[in-house]
A and B are shown apart, each in its own frame.
Chain A
């Protein structure tokens, strides 16, 4: 299985093909419905975002609270299509890609192609395995959103499948 270390350079992204199984290590940022609404509202009003979008990978996820001694609670992916409306905006501003589960819209696929991004599918429902491969979790923004806050996760060998590659390929 291919091992990927974040951040991904464009050359690596170009080599990824829909259907490839990969193990991802490095830093990713969690954001789901509420956080995306806030981020896009900030973009509209010209405010500075709480993290650098450039080549970042957003993970559509909201973890369980961490048990004592663990960096994170269970943390599998949520359904990506709810973020269809937000993803193209972020990709056009430099977001490197996303991790989630399930199909996304044609607009998202087009935005991935024009920006040479990538969309990885994590295995929905494997929350314990994903939580267990997080070695560090820091709060980045919106703590009042509780599990929906933006967190920076350091992950080791996150099992994913390339769902949409930058040439328009799809596993679905």
Chain B
């Protein structure tokens, strides 16, 4: 067994959170530049240029790229041969988030769903733990803004709807969202599993770099076809029309039931700020 103090995990999350709030991922930045260069003169090109300038200013001066510094989504892949010691894992993670949001001058956006009272420190985080092989702890940190989260959707398709149904669900969700989720978006899709696992897979898909493809050829084809159809919608950056409505479609899959075909579509705005580390 390898012993890992939860404080070590918390310190790493603190570091990832501070960096994520002020910097886009390199693959997202590349995609935005490519979109700007491919766009005709007009409002969409102006908006894309502004976003690139904004990301550069944010990085240079350590300012939040977007004021919606998000709900902290933390995915922990904990090796079966790891023995965790120290504070309760959940408390350690929330403590890291609390410190990062204070020290980074990030917005605190978490509230009670009914009273709407703000918790004041951006906790609790949305924490997902998985037990995996090995003696390492994998950390994925994704600050998730809700302008885009609000435009996400869940479908329980009939098996007969097949691949066409999946593509229609993905494209239809982006079309319905229109200008509201801050396009160009990254689309995370969870295919199969049960109601809950497909939603998690859709979120996990958003942690994959922009421009990567599923290892399964048939699913990579769904990603490609859906992306082409989305970019033919002419929603464009900020809804100002244009060629780039999405910078990518990332699909993850799981085995499902003979009676069902769950498809979850999680929308991420153009502000992709995912970070990963291994302890």
A interface residues, Cβ below 8 angstroms from B: 19, 21, 33-34, 61-67, 73-76, 78-79, 81, 101-103, 121, 123-132, 145-148, 159, 161, 171-172
Contact = CB atoms under 8 A, between A and B. Distances in A.
Contacts of A78: 68, 147
Contact of A64 (B69, B118, B238): B69
Contact of A128 (B65, B116, B179): B65
B34 interface: no
A126 B63 contact: no
A79 B47 CA distance: 16
A147 B150 contact: no
B49 to A, nearest CB: 10
A164 B106 CA distance: 31
Nearest to A18: B43
Contacts of A61: 67
A165 to B, nearest CB: 14
A33 B118 CA distance: 13
Interface of B: 43, 46-47, 50-51, 53-55, 57-58, 61, 63-69, 105-109, 116, 118, 120, 147, 150, 178-182, 238-240, 269-271
B50 A64 contact: no
B118 A124 contact: no
A73 B63 contact: yes
Nearest to B235: A172
A103 B269 contact: no
B54 A67 contact: no
Given A78-B147, A121-B238, A129-B57, A19 B179 contact: no
Given A61-B67, A73-B67, A123-B238, A172 B58 contact: no
